[in-house]
Amino acid sequence: MPRNPQISVVIPTYNEAENIAELLASLRSSLEKEGIKDFEIIVVDDNSPDGTWRIVEKMSKEDDRIRLIRRINEKGLASAVLRGIEEARAPYVLIMDADFQHPPEMAPKLVKIAFEKNADVVVASRYVRGGGVEGWNKLRLFISRFATFLAYAAVKESRYTTDPLSGFFVVKKAFVNGRKLKPRGYKILLEIIARDPPWKPRVIDVPYIFRNRKRGKSKLSTNTIIDYLLHLLDLSTITKFAIVGFFGSLVNLGVMDLVMRLSNSYDLGSVMGIETSIISNFIFNDIWTFKKNLKGKVLARLAGYHGSSLGSAVTIYTTMKLLHVFLGLNPLLGQLIGILAGFAVNYLLSSRVIWRW
Ligand code: GDD
Ligand code: MN
C-alpha cells in the first residue's frame, strides 16, 4: 500500500456483488492511465448479504491499494461515506457509487481539478452545461430538480454548487476533519457544505452524465424522501424561524382572545398577546432554531430579541387599533392582519436596511 496516497477513493456498497469487481478494475485502470498511481480505494460495505465484502476482501489481498471496511453493526449510506473519509489517508477523498452510474473514467479528471485548483470540493454535476442524466423520464427529472430547488430555498450554502445532491464528488480532507457531521440519509455532500463549514469552501462543478445503473437495484426507498426533508429542515435556520413564527402567531391570537374574555379590554388583549408571543418565539428560537450558536447570557438575548421585535410589535398593535377604530373590524381579525403586516415590515427592514439584499 502506498504510504502516502495522493487520493483516497471511498466507495460505499450494499449488495453490489454484481458490480464491484468490474468497478474496482475499471477505476484502477482509469486512474493509472492518467498517471495517478498513488491511490487507495476504500470500500465501506455494510456486511452485504450478497457477499460484496467477500469479493473486495479477496481483491484487497491481491492489491494492497484496495482496502475493505466491513461494518457489522452500522448501516446507512451517509455514515458509510463518513467512515470512509475518516479512514482515508490522502489529503483528498473522492466519493463515488459502485454501480457505474458515476463513470469511473471521470475519476482522474475530478481529482486533477481538485489538485490544480486547490479546491475544497469538486462536484461532478448533472446540472451544469455539458452534464445530464441518461434515460430519465420527465417526472424523475422534475423530482430531482424540485429536490434541488428545495435545497436552494432552505439552505443557502447549497447554492455553492449546481448539484448539491450529487453523490459523486471530491472533498479536501482538511475541510471535513474535526467537524461534527450528522450522517443522516443520502445527501452527504449537502451535509459537508452546509453544516457549519469551517470556512467558505472553494467549490468547482464539473459536468458529467449520470448513467443507468449497470446491474442490481437502487437502495433508495420512499423513506429517503422524508429523510431528505427532515435533513433540509435540520440544516435550515430560516425554515425553523418561520415555523416558530407561525406558532407564535397562534399564541398571540389565543392569548389575546383569552385576555379579552377575562378583562373585556382588547387593548390589553392585544398587548399581552404580542408580549406572550415574543416570549414564546424567543424560547423556541433559543432552544431550537439557533441552539448551536448561542452567545452571551440568556437574559441579554431575551432583551435583544425584544428590541428586534419592537417594530413588528408596534405594527401589530397599530394596525389592529386603526382597523378596529376606523373600520369597526373585530380586534382579533385586526390583530391577525397586524401580524401579517408586522411580518412584512420586519422582512423589509431586515432585507433593505440590515442585510441589504
Ligand atoms: N455501505 C452502504 N450502506 N452503502 C450503501 C447503502 C448503505 O446503507 N445504501 C446504498 N449504498 C451504496 C450503493 O451500494 C451504491 O454504491 C451507492 O451507495 C448509491 O446507492 P444507490 O442505491 O445506487 O443510490 P442512487 O443511485 O439511487 O443515488 C445515487 O446517485 C444520486 C445522484 O448522484 C447516490 O449517490 C445519491 O447520493 C445521489 O444523490
Ligand atoms: Mn445508483
Q: Structure pTM?
A: 0.88
**Residue with the nearest Cα to atom 25 of ligand 1?**
218
Whose atoms come closest to the Cα of 186: which ligand?
1
Instruction: Please provide the average confidence, as pLDDT, over all residues in the chain.
Output: 94
Sign of CA dihedral 300, 303, 304, 305: positive
Q: What is the C-alpha separation between 93 and 288, in angstroms, rounded?
A: 33
Over residues 276-295, the pLDDT tens digits come to 999 999 999 999 998 887 78
CB of residue 13 inside a 6 A radius of ligand 1: yes
pLDDT score of 1:
58
CB of residue 98 inside a 6 A radius of ligand 1: yes
Range of weakest confidence among 17-21, 219-223, 271-275:
219-223
**Residue with the nearest Cα to atom 19 of ligand 1?**
97
Angle at the Cα of 190 (from 188 to 191), degrees rounded to 5? 65
SS3 210: strand
Question: CATH number of the domain at 7-235, out of 3.90.550.10, 3.40.47.10, 1.10.1240.10, 3.40.50.300?
Answer: 3.90.550.10
Q: What is the C-alpha separation between 84 and 69, in angstroms, rounded?
A: 8
Q: What is the C-alpha separation between 148 and 88, in angstroms, rounded?
A: 29
At 183, the pLDDT band (50, 70, 90 cuts) reads confident
Over residues 126-174, the pLDDT tens digits come to 999 999 999 999 999 999 999 999 999 999 999 999 999 999 999 999 9
* Local structure of residue 350 (DSSP, 8 states): I
CB of residue 220 inside a 6 A radius of ligand 1: yes
pLDDT score of 185:
74
At 356, the pLDDT band (50, 70, 90 cuts) reads low
Residue with cell 440519509: 185
Sign of CA dihedral 125, 128, 134, 138: positive
Range of weakest confidence among 76-80, 208-212, 292-296:
292-296
Query: Do 323 and 329 contact (CB within 8 A), yes or no?
Result: yes
The continuous run of DSSP H or E covering 123 comes out as strand 121-125
Residue with cell 452500522: 74
Mean pLDDT of 87-107: 97
Task: Give the Å distance between the CA of 288 and the centre of ligand 2.
Answer: 35
- Of the candidates 302, 255, 299, 259, the one whose C-alpha atom is nearest the C-alpha of residue 277 is 255
Which atom from ligand 1 is nearest to the alpha carbon of 98?
16
Whose atoms come closest to the Cα of 74: which ligand?
1
Range of weakest confidence among 6-20, 139-153, 337-351:
337-351
Q: In one letter, which amino acid is 336?
A: L
Over residues 322-333, the pLDDT tens digits come to 999 999 999 999
At 11, the pLDDT band (50, 70, 90 cuts) reads very high
What are the domain boundaries of the chain? Answer: 7-235, 237-354
pLDDT score of 2:
58
CB of residue 97 inside a 6 A radius of ligand 1: yes
Spell out which residues have Cβ within 5 A of ligand 2, the ion.
97, 99, 101
Other CB atoms within 10 A of residue 276 CB: 18
